Chain A
Amino acid sequence: MIVRILTEGQFNLPGAHIDELNDIDNKLVDVVAEGDEAGFKNLLAKMMDLVRNNSTEVPVDELVESDLVLPEPDITLSEAAEMFVGEGLVPD
């Protein structure tokens, strides 16, 4: 599974980790809704580590589309919240 961390690059992550990733993703939605800054940073770091530590980097000269896109590691809670506010209003 090809996973992109925005502003960082692409990683080849074994499919076995998808459940764990989904789990963190769901929790992220909750902390964003609650406005829990510390929880957000914590989960985001966990998500990045999961990808970075269990994958191989996709070679730079390979052109492939990602199956999953992770936000940039330095995204703030308010930026993430904005992303969710946009949902539904603009059917992109």
Chain B
Amino acid sequence: MGMLSRMGVIVKSKVNRIMDNAEDPRETLEYSYEKQREMLKNVKRGVVEMVTAKRQLEAQASKAQANLAKLDSQARQALGAGREDLARLALERKQTTITELEGLDEQIANMEIEQEKLTHAEQRLQAKVQAFKTQKEVIKAQYSAAQAQVRIGSALSGLSEEMGDITLAVERAETKTETLKAKAGAIDELVATGVLDDPTGGDPLDRELKAISASSTVDDELAALMAELPPGKESLPEGKS
């Protein structure tokens, strides 16, 4: 059995399951129509969730971007103060941030693709539901058992197949979004543990650089005199801020 016939069997078995529930074809029509509307709602919600998830990633990316600039200036500052070790530390973090940023950009791009697919699925379903609604009313109006059964059968199986397909599209997009979000969450954790950034300002690098900054601006003359000593340590009162 080739792949195509295998796919066909899988899809058709789904359709049959829906059809088997039918006693009065007209009930099946109403039932299916309700199902479709429900599904359309789910798809719409899926699109919204996707957009939200993407925005979160974008926020993370811009945070990382801002961090890059900060680390860069910290490195310069440290070097200016003769603290090569701190400058190296800042540059190392900058590299980590660049790597994370690349990862984030890639995820955002992937998410855009998924969002597009989902939006497409939504439009498709919307059109199908509309078409079904029209056909449903026509069939109901002309209902005469045997004939209508056949017509309902073909309309319903076409639509059931479509529903099955769109369900699959939505599920795939959602699974991918979850994976992307989990990855983004891992980056968040790095930020939280201070590997990437320290929003509290309690980071030793920050503290030391502030100390350096303080010592050089507050007391230039003293700094000049202390040029041959490791700078900054003596200005703790300001440095603590």
Given contacts A71-B3, A84-B6, contact A7 B158 (CB under 8 A): no
| B119-156 at interface with A (beta carbon < 8 Å) | 121, 123-124, 127-128, 130-132, 135, 154-155
A87 near B1 with CB under 8 A, answer yes
Given contacts A68-B8, A69-B8, A72-B172, A29 and B3 within 8 Å (CB-CB): yes
Query: In the complex, are the beta carbons of B4 and A68 less than 8 A apart?
Result: yes
Cross-chain contact of A21 among B4, B7, B15, B127 (Cβ < 8 A): B4
Known: A63-B132, A69-B7, A92-B9. A26 touches B165 (CB 8 A): no
Q: A1–B4 Cα gap in the complex (Å)?
A: 14
**Taking CB as reference atom, which chain A residue is nearest B118?**
A7
Residues of A within 8 A of B123 (CB): 60
Contact A61 B3 (CB under 8 A): no
Interface residues on B, range: 20 to 34
CB of B153 to closest CB in A, whole Å = 9
Q: Which residue of the partner chain, among A6, A80, A84, A92, contacts B165 with CB atoms under 8 Å?
A: A6
Q: B7 — which chain A residues lie within 8 A by C-beta?
A: 6, 69-71, 83
Query: A13 on the interface (CB 8 Å rule)?
Result: no
CB distance from A57 to the nearest CB of B (A): 11
B159–A63 contact, CB under 8 A? Answer: yes
- Known A7-B117, A68-B8, A72-B172: A62·B2 in contact at CB below 8 Å: no
Across the interface, do A4 and B165 meet the contact criterion of CB distance under 8 Å? yes
Q: Does B198 touch A at the CB level, under 8 Å?
A: no
Known A62-B131, A63-B135, A65-B157; contact A74-B172, beta-carbon cutoff 8 A = yes
A64 and B127 contact, Cβ closer than 8 Å, known pairs A69-B4, A83-B3: no
Pull 18 A–B residue pairs with CB atoms less than 8 Å apart, ordered by A.
A6-B7, A6-B169, A7-B121, A7-B165, A7-B172, A9-B124, A9-B165, A22-B2, A25-B2, A26-B2, A61-B127, A63-B158, A65-B154, A69-B8, A69-B11, A71-B7, A83-B10, A87-B6
A25-B2, A84-B6 are known; give 20 further A-B pairs, CB within 8 A: A4-B161, A6-B165, A6-B168, A7-B169, A28-B2, A28-B3, A32-B3, A60-B123, A60-B131, A62-B158, A64-B154, A65-B154, A69-B4, A69-B10, A70-B7, A72-B168, A72-B169, A83-B10, A87-B6, A92-B10
